[in-house]
Structure 1
Amino acid sequence: MGDRREDLAAALAEVERRIGDACRAAGRSRSEITLIAVTKTYPASDVRLLAELGVSHVGENRDQEAAAKAAECAGLGLTWHFIGQLQTNKVRSVASYAHMVHSVDRPRLVDALGREAVRAGREVDCLIQVALDAEPGEGGAGRGGAAPQEVPALAGLVAKTEGLRLRGVMAVAPLGEDPSAAFARLRAVAERVREEHPAADVISAGMSGDIPQAVANGATHLRVGTALLGRRKPFVR
């Protein structure tokens, strides 16, 4: 465990150095950026070690894994982010522990999430996932997400749904594309949303490989897994 703590501390220091460099290059303050440690496939013991090292935001992709870790790490004061594709049959569970859902991409999910948040007596922060690789009219391609032209209406639906709070947008840079160009498009979508909903000021963008490009294009939340925890083992059902 001691070795693992040292490894995580060294990785965290390097990620912080990279974020700091990116902020300086973009003329931004480090205080504008929230680091989310994406701990999928890694044990709750790693979450505890990261919490001891000062990490307070944790991201997960799968409900089964996330629910168990959130329960095991209750009492640590962590903020839990659900960042994976969310099926409606998992919404009740996710609404019971997630503080922010990054993958809101369709009206049916908005309705279900709002209903279960109210049932749980909670208010869940929501980000509209934007499909940056979608062709006009096709909706999300591959990884999910709403096509950019669908985002304003979906944002309006979230904003008026009891139990939910619209906080902004999220996207993943398409494979093979310059992340700077992709995140510039996301920033433009985010600005349109903010015109109607000024409090929706979150841009969740950037992972281990594209931190500088995300920060340069206004990202407020970075979802970092591999650079913090190492290469993942393939998930086997």
Structure 2
Amino acid sequence: MMPSNFKIIFALVLTIMLVLGWTKMKPFQTDDSFAQQTLVIGLQSGYPPFEFMDANGKIIGFDVELAEQIASKLGKTLVIKDMEFEGEILSLKQGKIDLIVSGMNITPSRLKEIAMIPYHGEAATSLSLVFWNEIPQGVHSIEDIAKLPNPSITVESGSLPEDYINHYKNIHAKSFQGSLAPLMDVKYGKSVANLVQTDVATYLQEKHPEIKILSIPLSKDDAILGFGIGVKKENQGLFQQVQHIIQELKASGELKQLENKWFKEVQ
């Protein structure tokens, strides 16, 4: 008969071996370990060619393909959170997302809240007014629209064009989610024009040849500093990693290839 002490020791050893074996087969995955394996980006679909839904309801676009490359180079699985543009910075600061990759302009006010990595476009000195079929007679500037019977201009909610048009108190600014709804409002005669960034105007005209474009010069104070990837200021490690990846993609020509794929004309 096996001594009682030996039985106890044997039982303990057997239990430990079983536990270790089970752990090896099925490692326990905490929320932290899952987070380390994923890259969560925030964007708002409905802003072609940066991010929008295809016919099958899948989010595609320039930003999406860029985010896929960033995640791949980081060895992480990409997770996309489709959210309202206005809530992206707050979600980033609260740690709900890792990056903003959402066609977001670099502006002095945004740089006070988050860090931004330039990835597309140079400093821009103009916006574009988009009209359907024709530019109204006598309209050569935004100021001229104020003289029309229905002085309304559509913009995407939370965008830089929205901030810009709000300086004109004698023009009614109509804000919409995404970039399609503002254009349709113009098409059906409810508004005079849609104010967008130049890249977006070029893309829209390619899809809708009826569109006419009027360039609107920006003052030095209103100039756009290009598009940037948003990173939480405290997350310097991720900032440096993504910055390095963008530099690599530029040097290899891969970023240029993406731009040529999604933008008809890249300056």
The structure with more radius of gyration: 2
Identify which of structures 1 and 2 has the higher relative contact order when contacts are C-alpha pairs closer than 8 Å and 6+ apart.
2
* Category of TM-score, reference length = shorter chain: under 0.3
Q: Decide which structure has greater helix share.
A: 1
Question: How does the TM-score come out when normalised to structure 2?
Answer: 0.26
Question: What's the TM-score, normalizing by structure 1?
Answer: 0.28
Q: Greater strand share, 1 or 2?
A: 2
